[in-house]
């Protein structure tokens, strides 16, 4: 039962809403959407974990579904948000290095910390991990305020760059590639 509760909650809470949340961020702004998701996970994540540990399948499903929606609010716009933060010349390196180091660190140590907290504190103590990562996400978002104008959108903008601007950006990228070679 636990597998199917988790699988269905994540399917209906993350997989299906994710592209719609990405579109929502095109209209409302990426920062607003991501802040809502991070605050939701940070504040209500520990409460959701408490509900999940109570052993009632329906409540566990809705708690996981809610967490999925909050994660989708953060994860839907993050790819576009990251691309807008770096100039073309360093974008691939900057994105891959920063994003992958963050994922490796969080993925590697979260299970260890969660296990330690469950054994030493209580079964709901790992909920603090949600709050910690939410705070780190918010700090990172607010520290990274520059949006590069090479085809990216300003926060809250509703129309993509013109074809001429996109062609100019493509020409700049090709020129940069030629310089590197």
Chain-centroid distance, C-alpha 129? 15
Q: Which residues of 138-161 are buried (b: 16+ CB within 10 A; e: fewer)?
A: eeebeeeeebeebbbbebeeeeeb
CB 110 within 8 A of CB 129: yes
Q: Which pLDDT score is estimated for 35?
A: 94
pLDDT of residue 70: 95
pLDDT for 134 equals 92
pLDDT score at 95? 79
Kindly report the pTM of this predicted structure: 0.73
Q: Which pLDDT does position 86 carry in this prediction?
A: 79
Q: Check: CB of residue 77 under 8 Å from CB of residue 30.
A: yes
Stretches where the chain sits below pLDDT 70 are 145-181
Q: What is the DSSP string of 62-131?
A: HHHHHHHHHHHHHHHHHHHHHHHTS-GGGHHHHHHHHHHHHHHHHHHHHHHHHHHHHHHT-TTTTHHHHH
pLDDT score recorded for residue 160:
47
């Amino acid at each position: 039962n636990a597998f199917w509760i988790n699988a269905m909650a994540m399917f209906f809470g993350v997989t299906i809403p994710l592209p719609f949340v990405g579109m929502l961020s095109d209209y409302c702004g990426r920062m607003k959407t991501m802040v809502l998701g991070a605050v939701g996970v940070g504040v209500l994540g520990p409460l959701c974990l408490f509900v999940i540990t109570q052993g009632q399948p329906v409540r566990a499903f809705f708690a996981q579904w809610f967490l999925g929606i909050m994660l989708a609010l953060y994860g839907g716009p993050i790819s576009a948000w990251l691309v807008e933060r770096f100039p073309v010349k360093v974008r691939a390196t900057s994105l891959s290095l920063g994003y992958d180091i963050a994922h490796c660190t969080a993925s590697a140590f979260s299970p260890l910390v969660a296990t330690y907290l469950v054994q030493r504190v209580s079964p709901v103590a790992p909920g603090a991990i949600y709050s910690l990562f939410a705070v780190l996400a918010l700090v990172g978002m607010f520290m990274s305020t520059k949006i590069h104008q090479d085809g990216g959108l300003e926060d809250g903008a509703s129309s993509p760059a013109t074809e001429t601007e996109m062609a100019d950006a493509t020409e700049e990228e090709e020129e940069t590639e030629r310089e590197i070679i």
